[in-house]
Structure 1
Amino acid sequence: MQHLRKYIFLMLGLLVIAGNNYAQTAAQLDKVVVFSSGAELHHSVTLAVKQGASEVQVYQLARVADVKSIQIVAPTQVSVVGVKYQHNYLQPATNNNKLLQDSIRQVQAQIAQLQLQKSEADQMQQLLKANMETKGQAGLQVAEFAKFFDYYRAKLNTLQKEVQVLHTNIEALQVIQQRLQQQANEQSQRKEQPTGSITLQLQSTIAGKYTFQISYIASAASWKPSYEIKVKNVQSGIQIIQKAAIVQNTGIDWKQVKLSLNSGMPLNQQEAPVLTPRFVRYVNPYTGRTKNKETINYNTNEYSADALEQTDAQNLESMLQGRVAGVNVTGVPGASKQVTLRGISSISAGSTPLYIVDGVPVEAAIFQKIPSVQIESIDVLKDAAATSIYGSRGAQGVVMVTTKNATDYISQDQQLLNQQFEVELPYDVVQGFNAQTVTLQSKEIPVMYKHVTVPSINPQVYLVAEIADWSKYNLLPGSATIQVQGTYVGTTMLNTAATSDTLALTLGIDKQVNVQRNVLKDVSSVKFLGSSKLQTFTYEIVVKNNKQEGIALQLQDQIPLTTNTDIQIELKDAGGATITDDKGFLTWQLNLAPGEVKKLQYTFTVRYPKDKIVRW
């Protein structure tokens, strides 16, 4: 045991020596650019640099950094002469198990307090019962005994109820404690992961504190787009809400960072492909393998979000000062300020105007706390313009503020190779396997609606929305949930890899349009002509529109094709369909009135040697 203690003390001493032979400072994560696979992390760190040569260690970096991508931006007074990346086991990643243990201890303390109260209540019940027996043996008169008995019974009843409540609360807390302990046990089984750190070798002409910028590419992070598609009715367009699901396991939590989401992916191999000659050769067919490739009507002073961004003011009062005629802001820096709107009705009154935020009147104190970054626009009304809307409440003028929606904090940039979304609001993205969802943008897109059915494959009729010239909306491939008139109807995929100018979105099955497809046996036949067999097939398709409005329906069917010269296929009657000869497709474009029924027929023949059997 004594040798073990000496060994432990020795190792601790070595750790202290190893950790203190140069300065150590934690980096601050400021910005993250998340790619479809991987992320670029941007840190800042302020270091006390000695004159001449020195070494410092910067920790709290991602443990999965690509060493080749590390970039250090140093001030002009300092030269970075060496960079070494390594894992840091002395400052491991934050372990959530400590938080769970703290919660368990808090619950245990509450349970102990309730158990103490319950014990006191139990003792009080025993004392009352003992007193009742004593009083009963004291020879009291009947009236006096009845009085004492009623008192003790009421007191016991109260204590019993109190004990029952305490018992219920203790059981509830014990359940919570058990669940917390189970979660803590699971967390404790996970291997504690290190963070990343870099050691900088510096050469400085002047000693001082300097700020460095550190960036690098880290794996174990990604995002993928998803969508919500909302359809009100077939007379209006669709609303597409684009979202991003972000997942990261970089080893550090991203706390209040500025996020950028990029549709590209950092590559290690950046060369374009170059063709080389390919030669035909004989192969063994039994061993060769192939691969598949495959608005306001009066005068106002209005400020937009763009105009507000051009000022460094941190509060709304400072934004108004000097930018609106007749607006006067008084007060000392760091304290609440007084805003007055000078006009015919307020020049002598000098009192506070009425504040309206998103249509709701608020107090001046609430108005002053609104961060400038959340402002979409400001309208200032004075005199008749104010009183005509708000009456006497607007006699001192009205300041109307419109705040941003969630998607107003997202800006989109079409870069040379990729799309990038800038998220203005800082976000927390905790490492783990649970995705953090960010709403990127919401767009109203005009579409053309039509119904589509292919009864030879599926006897259902689908409602499809077609987006013309869809590439201008900068959509990315991803899954989408669909809501029609506020009801969830299913999911679909946005296939932006399509080469056509029109993007089709399947919105769901329309049960109010029915279709049936059957072979008409009465007009279908089989004949033998010499050594050949001739089969005639006639199909009938019946479509009925049970809706209250007319619809446009695209109906498709097909006839078989052959590459065998002994087999002959002939389309006898297309039934008014448009024919795609090289594919054998038959297409009808129908307009069905409410309640209308239409019948379609087409006929084709198949001729082949009678000693053969064919399938399609």
Structure 2
Amino acid sequence: MRHLLLSTAILFAGPALADRIETTARVTDVTVYPWGAGVTREAALDLPAGAHELVIPGIPEGVAPESLRISGEGAVIGAVGFQQERALPETPAKSPELAAAEDRVRQLKSELSAHASRVAGIKAQGEAAEDLIEFLMKLAESDGMAGNDIAALSGTVGQQLLQARQTAIRAEAEAEAADQGREDLEERLETAEARLEALRGPESARGALVVAVQGQGQPARIRITSLTGDASWQPVYDLSLARKESKLRLDRGLLVRQNTGEDWSGVHLLLSTARPMDQSAPSELQPQFPRIGENEARLYSRSAAPMAEAAMDSAERYEVESVVLDESGVAGSALAGVVGETVVYDYPTPVTLRDGADALRLPLDSHELTPEVVAEAVPRRDDTAYLVADTVNSTGAVILPGSASFYADGALVGRGGLELTAAGDKMKLGFGPLTGIKLEHRTPDETEGARGLISKSSERQEVAELRIRNLTAEEWPLRVIDRVPVSTQKDLRIDWRADPAPDATDPDGKRGLLVWNRSIAAGEEQVITLSTTLRWPEGQMLVGADD
């Protein structure tokens, strides 16, 4: 989308603008948000006293014109125009690196052209010799040879054929030898062109700022800030568990991307959790006026005229709220920003991030956490236990949602994500399967029902065995998790019994979950028996009891 903001005709009291000055503004500071970025660029120049029109080309197309803010030191800022249609062309000075890269590409292209010409000349000698051979052969076969001295002509033609064949063979060998350096030249040219392309920066639609300024006869610094939606950042984590040492290290990093149409070179980078591009105020609800009416059967028995009158009456007296359903059939609403205080990460060293070319990962910090390692078993769902570390967010700051890599004793065991975790809150982290601890969910009374189920018209019974076998050579702390149904109706009665009894029920408010905390020795097998009975009134049907 293109935008055009025009400056007013009269900018300052006094004479017309004295002259037009073109300068460049380099990006110096960038604040990247989870979506979008605030970009600050600066232009420094000696500005003579008086009124001037300052032209700053090279402003990317993705900049939101309404977000532009301009301030000046050593100058008074007047009207500002952001031109994208008929914008003045950008004429930046070439850096020494760019000029050298262009010279290198030109040199290699010239060398490759000279190489090709040399090889082509050698091949031409061989082709000429082949043409001579073809001519002599046709001459020897012609009718004009019959009246001549056959012996003399044969000697002459034979000598010329020999020389031509020797020339062709020699030219072919020389051409092959001369062509050996071509691939090396082409590779060097490809590398030089890639370097030149990187130094040139992105080619995108650009606009220009036209700023009316009043110079004060001293060095001036123009500061331009703007917002763009073409950048983002997200946290990334590495979690490394050393089980025997009972150590857990959390390494935090930041993954930054930008596709703004310009390169950021050596900028001061801030990462903010604020979301200026998102909703900033709560949603507004409109009154809802439900009404009752006659049932559907009676309405259909009426004539159309009274129904139409009732509809018109309803439209005049009531405002009914419209509801939009998403794909799941639930009323949708705009996403709100992150709740809580804004967190800002000030990266300590300058950063270079090219347009669309990098997903830059920046290290942030590391923290040592205290883990409690356990083998967690869910026989109803899994056939092996999993290595789990229970810990607490002791970093002193909130852990933001982000992707994570999990390492156990130096080996990568999984990829996943971390949820939003407040400082001091609990964390449960999984570090891959323990294939030596086998799990089985068994229903032993299969002859009495479908997979251990005994069903009647108003009763259902289930007997299940949770089997855990430790095939490793060491003892493990063990946590077994299973569940029983939960009734939300007074007429549905649920009784259950476990042997042995669980150590905890309804952990963290999760109704129906059962937890056994124990240890399992090397080579040991443990069995937990869980019996469940559901009863309901005759004539009713049980719904939603299966897994």
TM range, smaller chain: 0.5 to 0.7
What displacement does 1:518 show? 0.4
1:420-569 equivalences under 5 Å are 420-432=344-356, 434-470=358-394, 472-496=396-420, 501-521=425-445, 532-563=457-488, 567-569=492-494
When the two structures are aligned, how many residues end up with a matched partner? 441
Q: 2:182 aligns with which of 170, 173, 186?
A: 170
Distance 1:582 1:270, change over 3 A: closer
Q: What's the TM-score once normalised by structure 2's chain length?
A: 0.67
**1:404-437 alpha-carbon deviations (Å, 9 max, x no partner):** xxxxxxxxxxxx8322222222221111164122
- Say whether the 8 Å CA contact 1:559–1:584 is kept in structure 2: yes
Q: Are residues 1:22 and 2:20 paired?
A: yes
The aligned counterpart of 2:50 is 52
Distance 1:93 1:210, change over 3 A: closer
Letter matched to residue 575 of structure 1: P
Letter matched to residue 486 of structure 1: G
In 2, Cα distance between the equivalents of 1:535 and 1:202? 85
Q: Which runs of 5+ in 2 are unaligned?
A: 1-17, 128-168, 297-321, 334-339
- Say whether the 8 Å CA contact 1:92–1:193 is kept in structure 2: no
Letter matched to residue 465 of structure 1: A
1:571-582 equivalences under 5 Å are 571-573=496-498, 575-577=500-502, 578-580=504-506
Q: Are residues 1:260 and 2:270 paired?
A: yes
What displacement does 1:561 show? 3.2
- Say whether the 8 Å CA contact 2:23–2:56 is kept in structure 1: yes
What displacement does 1:477 show? 0.9
- Say whether the 8 Å CA contact 1:81–1:202 is kept in structure 2: yes
Distance 1:24 1:545, change over 3 A: same
Q: Which runs of 5+ in 1 are unaligned?
A: 1-19, 127-156, 186-190, 295-415
In 2, Cα distance between the equivalents of 1:550 and 1:193? 63
What displacement does 1:207 show? 2.1
- Say whether the 8 Å CA contact 2:250–2:367 is kept in structure 1: yes
What displacement does 1:267 show? 4.4
What displacement does 1:182 show? 12
What displacement does 1:200 show? 1.6
What displacement does 1:604 show? 1.2
Letter matched to residue 182 of structure 2: I
In 2, Cα distance between the equivalents of 1:549 and 1:582? 32
In 1, Cα distance between the equivalents of 2:293 and 2:58? 57
Aligned to 2:350, what secondary structure does the other structure show? strand
- Say whether the 8 Å CA contact 2:498–2:531 is kept in structure 1: yes
What displacement does 1:110 show? 4.1
Letter matched to residue 112 of structure 2: I
In 2, Cα distance between the equivalents of 1:161 and 1:233? 67
Q: Are residues 1:220 and 2:218 paired?
A: no
Letter matched to residue 468 of structure 1: V
In 2, Cα distance between the equivalents of 1:439 and 1:177? 35
- Say whether the 8 Å CA contact 2:28–2:267 is kept in structure 1: yes
In 2, Cα distance between the equivalents of 1:428 and 1:582? 48
**1:311-370 alpha-carbon deviations (Å, 9 max, x no partner):** xxxxxxxxxxxxxxxxxxxxxxxxxxxxxxxxxxxxxxxxxxxxxxxxxxxxxxxxxxxx
Q: Are residues 1:199 and 2:182 paired?
A: no
In 1, Cα distance between the equivalents of 2:283 and 2:35? 22
What displacement does 1:519 show? 0.5
1:7-86 equivalences under 5 Å are 22-75=20-73, 77-86=74-83
- Say whether the 8 Å CA contact 1:89–1:195 is kept in structure 2: no
Distance 1:98 1:571, change over 3 A: farther
In 1, Cα distance between the equivalents of 2:278 and 2:470? 57
Aligned to 1:496, what secondary structure does the other structure show? coil
**1:146-166 alpha-carbon deviations (Å, 9 max, x no partner):** xxxxxxxxxxx9999986565
Letter matched to residue 516 of structure 2: W
- Say whether the 8 Å CA contact 2:269–2:350 is kept in structure 1: yes
What displacement does 1:243 show? 1.9
Is 541-550 or 282-291 further displaced after alignment?
282-291
Aligned to 1:170, what secondary structure does the other structure show? helix
The aligned counterpart of 2:137 is none
- Say whether the 8 Å CA contact 2:498–2:528 is kept in structure 1: no
In 1, Cα distance between the equivalents of 2:293 and 2:181? 79
- Say whether the 8 Å CA contact 2:394–2:423 is kept in structure 1: no
* Identity among equivalent pairs (%): 20
Distance 1:59 1:174, change over 3 A: closer
In 1, Cα distance between the equivalents of 2:75 and 2:486? 76
The aligned counterpart of 1:291 is 330
What displacement does 1:600 show? 0.9
Letter matched to residue 209 of structure 2: I
The aligned counterpart of 1:144 is none
Letter matched to residue 245 of structure 2: Q
- Say whether the 8 Å CA contact 2:374–2:387 is kept in structure 1: yes
Distance 1:610 1:535, change over 3 A: farther
The aligned counterpart of 2:12 is none
What displacement does 1:567 show? 4.3
In 2, Cα distance between the equivalents of 1:284 and 1:121? 101
- Say whether the 8 Å CA contact 1:62–1:218 is kept in structure 2: no
1:324-403 equivalences under 5 Å are none
What displacement does 1:511 show? 1.2
- Say whether the 8 Å CA contact 2:369–2:392 is kept in structure 1: no
- Say whether the 8 Å CA contact 2:234–2:254 is kept in structure 1: yes
In 1, Cα distance between the equivalents of 2:249 and 2:214? 57
- Say whether the 8 Å CA contact 2:392–2:424 is kept in structure 1: no
Distance 1:222 1:612, change over 3 A: closer
Aligned to 1:68, what secondary structure does the other structure show? helix
The aligned counterpart of 1:134 is none
Is 495-504 or 31-40 further displaced after alignment?
495-504
What displacement does 1:117 show? 6.1
Q: Are residues 1:596 and 2:529 paired?
A: no
- Say whether the 8 Å CA contact 2:34–2:233 is kept in structure 1: yes
Aligned to 2:440, what secondary structure does the other structure show? strand
**1:532-579 alpha-carbon deviations (Å, 9 max, x no partner):** 454332111111223343322221111223445654322134531133
Distance 1:528 1:497, change over 3 A: closer
- Say whether the 8 Å CA contact 1:574–1:586 is kept in structure 2: no
In 2, Cα distance between the equivalents of 1:41 and 1:171? 44
Letter matched to residue 468 of structure 2: V
> RMSD value over aligned CA atoms?
4.7
- Say whether the 8 Å CA contact 2:236–2:253 is kept in structure 1: yes
Aligned to 1:475, what secondary structure does the other structure show? coil
Letter matched to residue 585 of structure 1: L
1:313-332 equivalences under 5 Å are none
What displacement does 1:37 show? 1.2
The aligned counterpart of 1:139 is none
Distance 1:70 1:105, change over 3 A: same
In 2, Cα distance between the equivalents of 1:74 and 1:265? 27
Aligned to 1:474, what secondary structure does the other structure show? coil
- Say whether the 8 Å CA contact 1:524–1:537 is kept in structure 2: no
Distance 1:61 1:589, change over 3 A: same
Q: Are residues 1:111 and 2:112 paired?
A: yes
In 1, Cα distance between the equivalents of 2:461 and 2:366? 54
What displacement does 1:217 show? 1.9
In 1, Cα distance between the equivalents of 2:447 and 2:514? 20
In 1, Cα distance between the equivalents of 2:354 and 2:46? 30
- Say whether the 8 Å CA contact 1:83–1:201 is kept in structure 2: yes
- Say whether the 8 Å CA contact 1:93–1:194 is kept in structure 2: no
- Say whether the 8 Å CA contact 2:477–2:518 is kept in structure 1: yes
Distance 1:484 1:469, change over 3 A: closer
Letter matched to residue 39 of structure 1: A
What displacement does 1:293 show? 6.6
**1:505-533 alpha-carbon deviations (Å, 9 max, x no partner):** 2221121221111002179667788xx45
Distance 1:196 1:79, change over 3 A: same
In 2, Cα distance between the equivalents of 1:165 and 1:284? 99
Distance 1:195 1:585, change over 3 A: same
